[in-house]
Amino acid sequence: MNIEDLRLWCLEKAGVTESLPFGDDTLVFKVGGKMFLLANLDGPLWLNIKARPEHVIERLEQFSSVQPGYHMNKKHWFMVDPIALGDDKLLLKWIDESYQLVLSGLPVKTRKEITATTP
């Protein structure tokens, strides 16, 4: 998985925006103004992904390519090396789950506005 494929995957989702709020080396994807994925742009690709606390624990225990989220709440975020993970399908599933988790936590009005734009 490279950064361009990852970027396209995220931007296809309803209501997703991208920005560089932490500097030129960290690409952030948001839905409804809330982060669901961070990707470093400097050096090897690492991703910070949001997940339910029980999923964070499971992934940390199960995958050597997963670490606690860098500069994030380690209860809700994990960091993954996509190359070491070696499973793009699983990685995309985790990104989709992160997007859905954040979307489901948005106010109903915001959620309806975002999902109304889905083709």
Domain ranges, ordered by start, for the chain: 3-107
Residue 117, pLDDT score = 66
pTM of whole model > 0.85?
Answer: yes
The residue with tokens 């950064």 is 3
The pLDDT tens digits for 23-82 are 999 999 999 999 999 999 998 999 999 999 999 999 999 999 999 998 899 999 999 999
Closest CA relative to residue 76, chosen from 49, 106, 46, 53: 53
Beta bridge partners of 79: 48, 67
**Which residues lie below 8 Å from residue 61, measured CB to CB, with a gap of 6+?**
none
- Kindly indicate the confidence band of residue 111, based on its pLDDT and cuts at 50, 70 and 90: very high
Q: Return the pLDDT at 116.
A: 86
CATH node for 3-107: 3.90.1150.30
